[in-house]
């Protein structure tokens, strides 16, 4: 496998990579919680499982932030801001590409 730095990828591919990281995190988290739902590539019909386990993972991250003296709400806001920026970047790139076709 050839390693390509994330910043060298198109925004859509960057976000697909990030989604893959999240899937790996859910698999690891599910192995510890008994939510062993993720044995292969996720499909749209797996959304309810992702929402359940993902919500539990976010909750666990909030507990970790709080335990370390951080603000759990700030963790959520920072994640939301990163997500929104990355989606805007992807949409802008797509609009730019569609405009040049």
Structure tokens at 49: 């499982």
Structure tokens at 2: 């050839």
Q: What is the pLDDT of residue 37?
A: 79
The strand ranges marked E within the chain are: none
Q: What is the spatial distance between Cα 64 and Cα 58, in angstroms, rounded to a whole number?
A: 10
Delimit the domains of the chain by residue range. Answer: 10-33+49-99
On the question of pLDDT at 100 being above 70, the answer is no
pLDDT digits (tens, 9 = 90+) for 20-76: 999 999 999 998 999 887 777 788 888 999 999 999 999 999 999 999 999 999 999
Q: Please name the residue that has the structure tokens 């739902």.
A: 37
On the question of pLDDT at 1 being above 90, the answer is no
* Helix (H) or strand (E) segment spanning residue 27: helix 11-33
Q: What is the pLDDT of residue 43?
A: 84
Global pTM? 0.85
């Amino acid at each position: 496998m050839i390693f390509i730095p994330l910043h060298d990828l198109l925004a859509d591919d960057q976000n697909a990579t990030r989604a893959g990281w999240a899937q790996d995190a859910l698999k690891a988290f599910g192995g510890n919680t008994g939510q062993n739902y993720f044995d292969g590539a996720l499909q749209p019909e797996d959304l309810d499982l992702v929402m359940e386990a993902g919500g539990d993972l976010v909750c666990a991250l909030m507990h970790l932030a709080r335990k370390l003296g951080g603000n759990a709400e700030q963790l959520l806001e920072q994640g939301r801001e990163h997500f929104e920026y990355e989606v805007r970047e992807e949409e802008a790139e797509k609009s730019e590409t569609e405009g040049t076709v």
